Amino acid sequence: MLIIKQMLLLTIGAAAVCTPLCAQVPGAKIGSFDIFSDVGAPAIAGAASYHEPSQTYRITGSGRNIWFGQDSFAFLSKKMNGDFILQTQVRFLGEGHEAHRKAGLMIRSSTATNSPVITCTVHGDGLTALQYRTVAGADMKEIKLTIKAPDVLQLEKKGNTYTMSVAHFGEVYVMEKLENIDLGTDLLAGLFVCSHTTLFSEEADFTNTRIFNTAPDTLIQYKSYIGSALEIMDVASGHRQVLASNKGSFQAPNWTPDGKTLIYNESGRLYNFDLASRTATVLNTGTAINNNNDHVLTFDGKQIGISNQGTETKGQSAVYTLPATGGTPKLITEKTPSYFHGWSPDNQYLVYTAERNGDYDIYRISKDGGKETQLTNTKGLDDGPEYSPDGKYIYFNSTRTGKMQLWRMDADGKNQTQLTFDELNNWFPHVSPDNKTLVFISFPKDVPADKHPFYHRVFLRTIPVGGGESKTIAYLYGGQGTMNVPSWSPDSKKIAFVSNGIF
Protein backbone atom coordinates (compact mmCIF):
# COMPACT_ATOMS: atom_id res chain seq x y z
CA MET A 1 0.00 0.00 0.00
CA LEU A 2 1.32 3.40 -0.92
CA ILE A 3 2.10 5.57 2.10
CA ILE A 4 2.18 9.32 1.72
CA LYS A 5 2.70 12.47 3.65
CA GLN A 6 1.44 15.71 2.17
CA MET A 7 3.11 19.07 2.57
CA LEU A 8 1.82 22.37 1.31
CA LEU A 9 4.79 24.40 0.13
CA LEU A 10 5.23 27.33 2.44
CA THR A 11 4.34 30.83 1.40
CA ILE A 12 5.01 34.04 3.23
CA GLY A 13 2.61 34.45 6.11
CA ALA A 14 1.64 30.79 6.14
CA ALA A 15 3.10 28.02 8.26
CA ALA A 16 3.66 24.47 7.05
CA VAL A 17 0.54 22.34 6.80
CA CYS A 18 1.07 18.58 6.79
CA THR A 19 -1.30 15.66 6.96
CA PRO A 20 -0.40 12.52 8.92
CA LEU A 21 0.95 9.48 7.13
CA CYS A 22 -2.04 7.81 5.53
CA ALA A 23 -3.14 5.44 2.79
CA GLN A 24 -3.00 6.67 -0.78
CA VAL A 25 -6.08 8.24 -2.27
CA PRO A 26 -6.54 9.00 -5.97
CA GLY A 27 -4.90 12.26 -6.96
CA ALA A 28 -3.12 12.74 -3.61
CA LYS A 29 0.14 14.66 -3.78
CA ILE A 30 3.38 13.27 -2.39
CA GLY A 31 5.54 16.28 -1.60
CA SER A 32 6.03 18.08 -4.92
CA PHE A 33 4.84 15.11 -7.00
CA ASP A 34 1.38 14.14 -8.23
CA ILE A 35 1.45 10.49 -9.26
CA PHE A 36 2.88 7.22 -7.99
CA SER A 37 2.86 4.35 -10.49
CA ASP A 38 4.06 0.78 -10.73
CA VAL A 39 4.96 0.95 -14.41
CA GLY A 40 4.85 -2.41 -16.18
CA ALA A 41 2.93 -4.15 -13.36
CA PRO A 42 5.88 -5.56 -11.36
CA ALA A 43 5.10 -8.62 -9.27
CA ILE A 44 5.82 -6.80 -6.01
CA ALA A 45 3.96 -3.52 -5.54
CA GLY A 46 6.03 -0.43 -4.89
CA ALA A 47 5.51 2.40 -2.43
CA ALA A 48 6.50 6.03 -1.93
CA SER A 49 6.54 8.32 1.09
CA TYR A 50 7.55 11.86 1.92
CA HIS A 51 8.90 13.00 5.26
CA GLU A 52 8.76 16.57 6.53
CA PRO A 53 10.74 18.40 7.94
CA SER A 54 13.69 16.46 6.46
CA GLN A 55 12.00 16.84 3.03
CA THR A 56 13.04 13.32 2.08
CA TYR A 57 11.33 10.96 -0.36
CA ARG A 58 11.63 7.20 0.07
CA ILE A 59 10.70 4.91 -2.80
CA THR A 60 10.38 1.14 -2.65
CA GLY A 61 10.36 -0.49 -6.05
CA SER A 62 10.50 -3.85 -7.75
CA GLY A 63 10.48 -4.54 -11.49
CA ARG A 64 12.42 -6.68 -13.92
CA ASN A 65 14.31 -3.89 -15.67
CA ILE A 66 14.31 -0.55 -17.47
CA TRP A 67 15.75 -1.78 -20.74
CA PHE A 68 14.98 -3.34 -24.13
CA GLY A 69 11.50 -2.36 -25.37
CA GLN A 70 9.58 -2.43 -22.07
CA ASP A 71 10.09 -1.18 -18.54
CA SER A 72 9.02 -2.40 -15.11
CA PHE A 73 9.73 -0.21 -12.06
CA ALA A 74 8.34 2.19 -9.41
CA PHE A 75 7.86 5.82 -10.49
CA LEU A 76 6.97 8.95 -8.51
CA SER A 77 6.22 11.71 -11.00
CA LYS A 78 4.71 15.05 -11.85
CA LYS A 79 3.20 16.32 -15.11
CA MET A 80 5.50 18.88 -16.70
CA ASN A 81 5.48 21.09 -19.79
CA GLY A 82 8.02 23.41 -21.34
CA ASP A 83 11.60 23.66 -20.13
CA PHE A 84 12.37 22.34 -16.66
CA ILE A 85 14.99 20.94 -14.29
CA LEU A 86 14.73 17.92 -12.00
CA GLN A 87 17.31 17.58 -9.20
CA THR A 88 17.95 15.17 -6.35
CA GLN A 89 20.52 13.56 -4.08
CA VAL A 90 20.05 9.77 -4.00
CA ARG A 91 21.11 7.00 -1.62
CA PHE A 92 20.36 3.27 -1.88
CA LEU A 93 19.21 1.64 1.35
CA GLY A 94 20.76 -1.69 2.27
CA GLU A 95 23.29 -3.82 0.41
CA GLY A 96 20.78 -4.86 -2.25
CA HIS A 97 20.17 -8.10 -4.11
CA GLU A 98 21.22 -7.19 -7.64
CA ALA A 99 24.28 -5.31 -8.87
CA HIS A 100 22.09 -3.59 -11.44
CA ARG A 101 19.34 -2.33 -9.17
CA LYS A 102 18.65 1.19 -10.39
CA ALA A 103 17.59 4.57 -9.03
CA GLY A 104 17.57 8.06 -10.44
CA LEU A 105 15.69 10.67 -12.44
CA MET A 106 13.33 10.03 -15.34
CA ILE A 107 11.36 11.92 -17.98
CA ARG A 108 8.92 9.88 -20.06
CA SER A 109 6.00 10.43 -22.40
CA SER A 110 3.57 8.27 -20.41
CA THR A 111 3.30 5.45 -17.89
CA ALA A 112 2.97 2.93 -20.71
CA THR A 113 5.58 0.22 -20.23
CA ASN A 114 7.06 0.87 -23.69
CA SER A 115 6.96 4.70 -23.52
CA PRO A 116 9.70 6.91 -24.97
CA VAL A 117 11.91 7.86 -22.02
CA ILE A 118 15.13 9.49 -20.86
CA THR A 119 16.71 8.49 -17.56
CA CYS A 120 19.60 9.63 -15.40
CA THR A 121 20.42 6.21 -13.95
CA VAL A 122 22.73 5.07 -11.14
CA HIS A 123 23.15 1.30 -10.72
CA GLY A 124 23.83 -0.55 -7.52
CA ASP A 125 27.38 -1.33 -8.64
CA GLY A 126 28.04 2.35 -9.42
CA LEU A 127 27.51 2.21 -13.19
CA THR A 128 26.08 5.57 -14.29
CA ALA A 129 24.38 6.18 -17.63
CA LEU A 130 22.14 8.46 -19.63
CA GLN A 131 19.60 5.97 -21.02
CA TYR A 132 16.95 6.72 -23.62
CA ARG A 133 14.23 5.30 -25.86
CA THR A 134 13.02 7.70 -28.53
CA VAL A 135 10.24 5.58 -30.08
CA ALA A 136 7.61 3.55 -28.24
CA GLY A 137 8.69 -0.08 -27.98
CA ALA A 138 12.24 0.48 -29.27
CA ASP A 139 15.21 -0.97 -27.43
CA MET A 140 16.82 1.32 -24.86
CA LYS A 141 20.11 3.01 -25.74
CA GLU A 142 22.63 4.46 -23.33
CA ILE A 143 25.66 6.67 -22.90
CA LYS A 144 27.86 5.42 -20.07
CA LEU A 145 29.68 7.98 -17.97
CA THR A 146 33.12 7.46 -16.48
CA ILE A 147 32.01 8.64 -13.03
CA LYS A 148 31.00 5.85 -10.63
CA ALA A 149 28.17 6.00 -8.07
CA PRO A 150 27.43 9.73 -8.04
CA ASP A 151 24.87 10.82 -5.48
CA VAL A 152 24.02 14.28 -6.87
CA LEU A 153 21.82 14.06 -9.98
CA GLN A 154 20.23 16.57 -12.34
CA LEU A 155 18.21 16.10 -15.53
CA GLU A 156 17.25 19.15 -17.57
CA LYS A 157 14.93 19.60 -20.55
CA LYS A 158 15.44 22.64 -22.74
CA GLY A 159 13.50 22.38 -25.98
CA ASN A 160 14.47 19.04 -27.49
CA THR A 161 17.81 18.94 -25.68
CA TYR A 162 18.22 16.86 -22.51
CA THR A 163 21.24 17.31 -20.24
CA MET A 164 22.29 14.91 -17.50
CA SER A 165 24.57 16.34 -14.79
CA VAL A 166 25.96 14.18 -11.98
CA ALA A 167 28.54 14.54 -9.22
CA HIS A 168 29.85 13.10 -6.02
CA PHE A 169 28.76 15.56 -3.35
CA GLY A 170 31.58 18.08 -2.99
CA GLU A 171 32.59 18.02 -6.66
CA VAL A 172 31.37 19.91 -9.73
CA TYR A 173 29.13 18.25 -12.31
CA VAL A 174 30.08 15.74 -14.98
CA MET A 175 27.69 16.28 -17.91
CA GLU A 176 26.26 14.40 -20.89
CA LYS A 177 23.81 15.76 -23.45
CA LEU A 178 21.22 14.43 -25.93
CA GLU A 179 19.98 16.68 -28.72
CA ASN A 180 17.03 16.55 -31.12
CA ILE A 181 14.95 14.28 -28.87
CA ASP A 182 11.19 14.83 -29.05
CA LEU A 183 9.27 13.14 -26.23
CA GLY A 184 6.19 15.29 -26.74
CA THR A 185 4.77 18.16 -24.70
CA ASP A 186 2.84 16.69 -21.76
CA LEU A 187 5.56 14.74 -19.96
CA LEU A 188 5.97 12.87 -16.70
CA ALA A 189 9.11 13.69 -14.70
CA GLY A 190 10.24 12.28 -11.40
CA LEU A 191 12.11 9.72 -9.30
CA PHE A 192 12.35 5.99 -9.89
CA VAL A 193 13.58 2.74 -8.37
CA CYS A 194 13.94 -0.60 -10.14
CA SER A 195 15.09 -3.78 -8.37
CA HIS A 196 16.22 -5.60 -11.57
CA THR A 197 14.50 -8.72 -10.26
CA THR A 198 10.98 -10.01 -9.74
CA LEU A 199 11.93 -11.60 -6.42
CA PHE A 200 12.78 -8.59 -4.30
CA SER A 201 12.14 -4.89 -3.80
CA GLU A 202 14.80 -2.22 -3.35
CA GLU A 203 14.65 1.09 -1.53
CA ALA A 204 16.27 4.48 -2.04
CA ASP A 205 16.08 7.84 -0.30
CA PHE A 206 15.95 11.05 -2.31
CA THR A 207 16.86 14.35 -0.62
CA ASN A 208 17.36 17.91 -1.89
CA THR A 209 14.77 17.12 -4.55
CA ARG A 210 13.56 20.00 -6.70
CA ILE A 211 11.41 20.08 -9.84
CA PHE A 212 10.68 23.40 -11.51
CA ASN A 213 10.31 25.23 -14.80
CA THR A 214 13.17 27.48 -15.86
CA ALA A 215 13.09 31.06 -17.10
CA PRO A 216 12.10 31.49 -20.76
CA ASP A 217 14.71 32.87 -23.14
CA THR A 218 12.45 35.88 -23.74
CA LEU A 219 12.55 36.96 -20.07
CA ILE A 220 14.09 40.41 -19.57
CA GLN A 221 16.17 40.36 -16.40
CA TYR A 222 15.48 42.97 -13.71
CA LYS A 223 12.09 43.65 -15.33
CA SER A 224 10.47 40.22 -15.11
CA TYR A 225 11.03 37.53 -12.48
CA ILE A 226 10.21 33.90 -11.93
CA GLY A 227 9.57 32.15 -8.63
CA SER A 228 12.03 31.87 -5.77
CA ALA A 229 12.54 29.76 -2.67
CA LEU A 230 14.10 30.78 0.63
CA GLU A 231 16.32 27.94 1.83
CA ILE A 232 18.73 27.01 4.59
CA MET A 233 21.40 24.34 4.32
CA ASP A 234 23.65 22.34 6.61
CA VAL A 235 27.12 23.07 5.23
CA ALA A 236 28.72 19.77 6.28
CA SER A 237 26.09 17.46 4.79
CA GLY A 238 24.66 19.70 2.06
CA HIS A 239 21.13 18.96 3.26
CA ARG A 240 18.78 21.73 2.13
CA GLN A 241 15.40 22.78 3.50
CA VAL A 242 12.88 25.07 1.80
CA LEU A 243 11.41 27.53 4.29
CA ALA A 244 9.17 29.52 1.97
CA SER A 245 8.44 30.05 -1.70
CA ASN A 246 7.08 32.94 -3.70
CA LYS A 247 6.07 33.71 -7.27
CA GLY A 248 8.19 36.86 -7.05
CA SER A 249 11.86 37.37 -6.30
CA PHE A 250 13.24 36.75 -2.82
CA GLN A 251 16.86 37.93 -2.69
CA ALA A 252 19.94 37.87 -0.46
CA PRO A 253 19.07 36.59 3.04
CA ASN A 254 21.13 37.67 6.06
CA TRP A 255 21.10 35.57 9.22
CA THR A 256 20.77 37.71 12.37
CA PRO A 257 23.38 37.15 15.13
CA ASP A 258 20.75 35.76 17.52
CA GLY A 259 19.93 33.01 15.02
CA LYS A 260 16.21 33.75 15.07
CA THR A 261 15.61 35.74 11.89
CA LEU A 262 16.55 36.02 8.25
CA ILE A 263 16.48 39.42 6.55
CA TYR A 264 15.90 39.40 2.80
CA ASN A 265 14.76 41.87 0.18
CA GLU A 266 11.91 41.71 -2.30
CA SER A 267 10.71 44.42 -4.70
CA GLY A 268 12.89 47.09 -3.10
CA ARG A 269 11.85 46.45 0.51
CA LEU A 270 13.48 44.49 3.33
CA TYR A 271 11.67 41.80 5.31
CA ASN A 272 12.25 40.00 8.61
CA PHE A 273 11.55 36.29 8.28
CA ASP A 274 10.95 34.70 11.68
CA LEU A 275 12.41 31.18 11.63
CA ALA A 276 10.18 29.89 14.43
CA SER A 277 6.83 30.94 12.95
CA ARG A 278 7.99 31.10 9.32
CA THR A 279 6.25 34.40 8.81
CA ALA A 280 7.59 37.61 7.29
CA THR A 281 7.10 41.24 8.27
CA VAL A 282 8.30 44.41 6.59
CA LEU A 283 11.42 46.00 8.07
CA ASN A 284 10.84 49.75 8.28
CA THR A 285 13.50 51.50 6.20
CA GLY A 286 11.75 54.85 6.03
CA THR A 287 12.10 56.53 2.66
CA ALA A 288 14.56 53.87 1.46
CA ILE A 289 12.14 51.68 -0.49
CA ASN A 290 14.25 50.96 -3.57
CA ASN A 291 16.82 48.76 -1.86
CA ASN A 292 18.92 46.37 -3.87
CA ASN A 293 20.31 43.14 -2.44
CA ASP A 294 23.34 44.63 -0.67
CA HIS A 295 22.22 44.80 2.96
CA VAL A 296 24.51 43.78 5.84
CA LEU A 297 24.16 43.75 9.63
CA THR A 298 26.87 44.91 12.00
CA PHE A 299 28.65 42.09 13.82
CA ASP A 300 26.64 42.90 16.98
CA GLY A 301 23.38 42.98 14.99
CA LYS A 302 22.38 46.48 16.11
CA GLN A 303 22.76 48.38 12.83
CA ILE A 304 22.15 47.50 9.20
CA GLY A 305 23.77 49.00 6.14
CA ILE A 306 21.80 49.13 2.90
CA SER A 307 22.19 50.20 -0.72
CA ASN A 308 19.21 52.27 -1.85
CA GLN A 309 18.40 54.08 -5.07
CA GLY A 310 16.66 57.16 -3.77
CA THR A 311 15.38 60.44 -5.15
CA GLU A 312 18.10 62.40 -3.31
CA THR A 313 20.74 60.49 -5.30
CA LYS A 314 18.79 60.75 -8.58
CA GLY A 315 18.13 57.02 -8.61
CA GLN A 316 21.79 56.06 -8.20
CA SER A 317 22.74 53.47 -5.58
CA ALA A 318 24.11 54.94 -2.34
CA VAL A 319 25.00 53.51 1.07
CA TYR A 320 22.81 54.21 4.09
CA THR A 321 22.68 52.97 7.67
CA LEU A 322 19.81 52.60 10.14
CA PRO A 323 18.94 50.62 13.28
CA ALA A 324 18.46 46.90 12.61
CA THR A 325 14.99 47.19 14.14
CA GLY A 326 14.06 49.82 11.56
CA GLY A 327 14.09 53.58 11.45
CA THR A 328 15.22 56.59 9.45
CA PRO A 329 18.06 55.84 7.01
CA LYS A 330 21.22 57.96 7.20
CA LEU A 331 23.05 58.69 3.95
CA ILE A 332 26.72 57.69 4.23
CA THR A 333 28.17 57.96 0.72
CA GLU A 334 27.76 61.26 -1.06
CA LYS A 335 29.30 59.87 -4.23
CA THR A 336 27.40 57.41 -6.42
CA PRO A 337 27.00 54.71 -7.47
CA SER A 338 28.06 52.87 -4.28
CA TYR A 339 27.09 49.31 -3.35
CA PHE A 340 27.44 48.29 0.28
CA HIS A 341 28.96 44.95 1.32
CA GLY A 342 30.47 44.91 4.81
CA TRP A 343 31.03 46.36 8.27
CA SER A 344 34.27 46.29 10.23
CA PRO A 345 33.96 44.15 13.40
CA ASP A 346 34.19 47.27 15.62
CA ASN A 347 31.28 48.82 13.66
CA GLN A 348 33.36 51.90 12.82
CA TYR A 349 33.82 51.42 9.07
CA LEU A 350 31.88 50.30 6.03
CA VAL A 351 33.37 48.80 2.86
CA TYR A 352 31.67 48.94 -0.51
CA THR A 353 32.12 48.73 -4.26
CA ALA A 354 31.88 51.99 -6.15
CA GLU A 355 32.26 53.28 -9.67
CA ARG A 356 34.61 56.23 -9.83
CA ASN A 357 36.09 57.55 -13.07
CA GLY A 358 34.65 54.68 -15.09
CA ASP A 359 36.12 51.86 -13.00
CA TYR A 360 34.79 49.78 -10.10
CA ASP A 361 36.99 49.50 -7.02
CA ILE A 362 36.64 48.89 -3.30
CA TYR A 363 36.36 51.75 -0.84
CA ARG A 364 36.17 52.25 2.93
CA ILE A 365 34.33 54.99 4.78
CA SER A 366 33.58 55.94 8.39
CA LYS A 367 30.20 55.01 9.84
CA ASP A 368 29.61 58.76 10.07
CA GLY A 369 30.34 59.33 6.39
CA GLY A 370 32.89 61.84 5.13
CA LYS A 371 35.90 61.18 2.95
CA GLU A 372 36.16 57.74 1.39
CA THR A 373 39.42 55.74 1.17
CA GLN A 374 40.18 53.77 -1.98
CA LEU A 375 41.50 50.26 -1.16
CA THR A 376 41.89 48.74 -4.64
CA ASN A 377 42.99 50.37 -7.87
CA THR A 378 43.08 47.92 -10.77
CA LYS A 379 41.44 47.71 -14.16
CA GLY A 380 38.31 45.58 -14.23
CA LEU A 381 35.75 44.91 -11.52
CA ASP A 382 36.56 44.57 -7.81
CA ASP A 383 33.45 43.70 -5.80
CA GLY A 384 31.96 42.00 -2.74
CA PRO A 385 34.27 43.25 0.05
CA GLU A 386 33.76 41.71 3.48
CA TYR A 387 35.80 41.91 6.69
CA SER A 388 37.04 38.83 8.52
CA PRO A 389 35.63 38.55 12.07
CA ASP A 390 39.02 39.45 13.56
CA GLY A 391 39.24 42.59 11.42
CA LYS A 392 42.61 41.68 9.93
CA TYR A 393 41.50 41.05 6.36
CA ILE A 394 39.01 42.07 3.71
CA TYR A 395 37.91 39.38 1.27
CA PHE A 396 36.63 40.35 -2.18
CA ASN A 397 36.28 39.16 -5.77
CA SER A 398 38.08 40.58 -8.79
CA THR A 399 38.39 40.11 -12.57
CA ARG A 400 41.94 41.48 -12.64
CA THR A 401 43.41 38.13 -13.78
CA GLY A 402 40.68 37.29 -16.31
CA LYS A 403 38.04 35.14 -14.63
CA MET A 404 36.24 36.42 -11.55
CA GLN A 405 38.26 35.03 -8.63
CA LEU A 406 38.41 35.41 -4.86
CA TRP A 407 41.03 37.62 -3.26
CA ARG A 408 42.14 38.73 0.20
CA MET A 409 43.88 41.91 1.35
CA ASP A 410 44.91 43.44 4.64
CA ALA A 411 42.34 45.75 6.18
CA ASP A 412 44.32 48.76 4.89
CA GLY A 413 44.32 47.42 1.32
CA LYS A 414 47.87 46.06 1.30
CA ASN A 415 49.05 42.54 0.33
CA GLN A 416 46.29 41.75 -2.15
CA THR A 417 46.43 37.97 -2.69
CA GLN A 418 44.48 35.71 -5.05
CA LEU A 419 42.78 32.70 -3.38
CA THR A 420 41.00 30.82 -6.21
CA PHE A 421 42.41 29.89 -9.62
CA ASP A 422 39.82 27.78 -11.45
CA GLU A 423 37.76 28.15 -14.62
CA LEU A 424 34.54 29.15 -12.88
CA ASN A 425 33.60 32.73 -12.02
CA ASN A 426 33.64 33.04 -8.23
CA TRP A 427 31.71 35.80 -6.45
CA PHE A 428 30.87 37.15 -2.99
CA PRO A 429 33.13 35.44 -0.43
CA HIS A 430 31.44 35.27 2.97
CA VAL A 431 33.48 34.48 6.07
CA SER A 432 32.07 32.07 8.65
CA PRO A 433 31.67 33.53 12.16
CA ASP A 434 34.34 31.12 13.45
CA ASN A 435 36.74 32.62 10.86
CA LYS A 436 37.58 29.25 9.31
CA THR A 437 35.65 29.00 6.03
CA LEU A 438 34.63 31.07 3.03
CA VAL A 439 31.39 30.28 1.24
CA PHE A 440 30.86 31.76 -2.23
CA ILE A 441 28.82 31.39 -5.39
CA SER A 442 30.34 30.14 -8.66
CA PHE A 443 28.94 30.91 -12.10
CA PRO A 444 29.81 28.76 -15.14
CA LYS A 445 32.67 29.85 -17.35
CA ASP A 446 30.35 30.83 -20.21
CA VAL A 447 28.92 33.68 -18.09
CA PRO A 448 30.93 36.91 -18.56
CA ALA A 449 33.40 37.32 -15.71
CA ASP A 450 32.02 40.71 -14.67
CA LYS A 451 28.35 39.60 -14.63
CA HIS A 452 26.31 37.76 -12.00
CA PRO A 453 22.91 37.37 -13.70
CA PHE A 454 19.72 35.68 -12.55
CA TYR A 455 18.67 32.19 -13.58
CA HIS A 456 21.81 30.18 -14.18
CA ARG A 457 23.03 26.77 -13.07
CA VAL A 458 25.38 27.77 -10.26
CA PHE A 459 27.33 26.17 -7.42
CA LEU A 460 27.75 27.22 -3.81
CA ARG A 461 31.25 26.29 -2.71
CA THR A 462 33.57 26.60 0.29
CA ILE A 463 37.32 26.96 0.81
CA PRO A 464 39.44 27.55 3.93
CA VAL A 465 39.91 31.26 4.68
CA GLY A 466 43.57 31.09 3.66
CA GLY A 467 42.77 29.43 0.34
CA GLY A 468 42.97 25.79 -0.70
CA GLU A 469 40.84 23.11 -2.28
CA SER A 470 37.22 24.06 -2.89
CA LYS A 471 34.21 21.91 -2.00
CA THR A 472 30.83 22.17 -3.71
CA ILE A 473 28.02 22.21 -1.15
CA ALA A 474 24.99 23.11 -3.29
CA TYR A 475 23.92 22.64 -6.91
CA LEU A 476 21.14 25.03 -7.83
CA TYR A 477 19.38 27.27 -10.29
CA GLY A 478 19.99 30.80 -9.17
CA GLY A 479 22.59 33.56 -9.44
CA GLN A 480 21.82 37.21 -8.77
CA GLY A 481 20.26 37.44 -5.31
CA THR A 482 21.13 33.87 -4.32
CA MET A 483 23.84 34.78 -1.83
CA ASN A 484 25.03 38.37 -2.31
CA VAL A 485 25.33 39.07 1.42
CA PRO A 486 26.74 37.35 4.54
CA SER A 487 24.34 34.51 5.27
CA TRP A 488 26.06 32.22 7.78
CA SER A 489 24.21 31.06 10.88
CA PRO A 490 25.84 32.28 14.12
CA ASP A 491 27.23 28.78 14.87
CA SER A 492 28.94 28.55 11.45
CA LYS A 493 27.02 25.35 10.63
CA LYS A 494 24.40 26.57 8.17
CA ILE A 495 23.87 29.14 5.45
CA ALA A 496 20.76 30.77 4.02
CA PHE A 497 20.28 31.43 0.32
CA VAL A 498 17.72 31.78 -2.45
CA SER A 499 17.09 29.37 -5.32
CA ASN A 500 14.90 30.07 -8.34
CA GLY A 501 12.33 28.32 -10.52
CA ILE A 502 8.66 28.29 -11.47
CA PHE A 503 7.44 25.83 -8.85
What CATH number is associated with residue 291? Answer: 2.120.10.30
Give the total residue count for the chain.
Answer: 503
Cα–Cα dist 485/433, whole Å = 14
Does the pLDDT of residue 479 top 80, yes or no?
A: yes
Does the pLDDT of residue 494 top 50, yes or no?
A: yes
Domain of residue 382: give its range: 228-500
- What average pLDDT score do residues 220-241 get? 96
| pLDDT class of 167 with cuts at 50, 70, 90 | very high
In this structure, are 368 and 434 located in the same domain? yes
Distances (CA, A) of 346 to 263, 298, 372, 378, 437: 21, 8, 18, 28, 21
Residue 123 is part of a domain; what is its CATH number? 2.60.120.200
| pLDDT class of 329 with cuts at 50, 70, 90 | very high
* pLDDT recorded at residue 49: 97
pTM: 0.93
Question: Average pLDDT over the chain, rounded to whole?
Answer: 94
Cα–Cα dist 479/463, whole Å = 19
* pLDDT recorded at residue 503: 87
Does the pLDDT of residue 304 top 90, yes or no?
A: yes
* pLDDT recorded at residue 5: 29
Distances (CA, A) of 21 to 7, 54, 397, 417, 480: 11, 15, 48, 55, 38
Cα–Cα dist 102/124, whole Å = 6
- Is residue 373 situated within a structural domain? yes
In this structure, are 250 and 186 located in the same domain? no
- Is residue 457 situated within a structural domain? yes
In this structure, are 207 and 309 located in the same domain? no
| pLDDT class of 18 with cuts at 50, 70, 90 | very low
- Is residue 218 situated within a structural domain? no
Q: Is 83 exposed, middle or buried (0-12, 13-18, 19+ CB in 10 A)?
A: middle
For 362, half-sphere exposure in the C-beta direction (CA atoms, 13 angstrom radius) is: 28
- Is residue 474 situated within a structural domain? yes
| pLDDT class of 25 with cuts at 50, 70, 90 | very low
Share of the chain above pLDDT 90, in %: 94
- Is residue 222 situated within a structural domain? no
- What average pLDDT score do residues 37-58 get? 96
- Is residue 54 situated within a structural domain? yes
For 225, half-sphere exposure in the C-beta direction (CA atoms, 13 angstrom radius) is: 18
Closest alpha carbon to 473 in 208, 243, 103: 208
Which are the contacts of 220, defined by CB distance < 8 A and separation ≥ 6? none
Q: How far is CA 199 from the centre of its chain?
A: 39
Paired strand residues for 395: 386, 408
In this structure, are 371 and 492 located in the same domain? yes
- What average pLDDT score do residues 282-305 get? 97
* pLDDT recorded at residue 13: 34
* pLDDT recorded at residue 21: 33
Looking only at the bridges linking them, the beta strands covering 66-67 and 56-63 are unpaired
Does the pLDDT of residue 166 top 70, yes or no?
A: yes
Which are the contacts of 456, defined by CB distance < 8 A and separation ≥ 6? 443, 444, 447, 477, 478, 479
Total tally of structural domains belonging to the chain: 2
In this structure, are 444 and 299 located in the same domain? yes
- Is residue 220 situated within a structural domain? no
Our CA angle for 390, 396, 399, nearest 5°, is 160
Does the pLDDT of residue 40 top 80, yes or no?
A: yes
In this structure, are 75 and 115 located in the same domain? yes
Cα–Cα dist 410/422, whole Å = 23
Report yes or no: 439 and 460 within 8 Å, Cβ to Cβ.
Answer: yes
In this structure, are 91 and 237 located in the same domain? no
In this structure, are 232 and 207 located in the same domain? no
In this structure, are 182 and 75 located in the same domain? yes
* pLDDT recorded at residue 27: 54
In this structure, are 353 and 425 located in the same domain? yes
Looking only at the bridges linking them, the beta strands covering 456-464 and 437-443 are antiparallel
In this structure, are 385 and 261 located in the same domain? yes
* pLDDT recorded at residue 22: 31
Domain end point (choices 213, 240, 275): 213
**DSSP 8-state code for residue 30:** B
Does the pLDDT of residue 429 top 80, yes or no?
A: yes
- Is residue 406 situated within a structural domain? yes
Does the pLDDT of residue 10 top 70, yes or no?
A: no
* pLDDT recorded at residue 12: 33
In this structure, are 237 and 109 located in the same domain? no
Domain end point (choices 186, 213, 240): 213
* pLDDT recorded at residue 53: 87
* pLDDT recorded at residue 124: 97
Poorest-confidence range of 7-16, 300-309, 489-498? 7-16
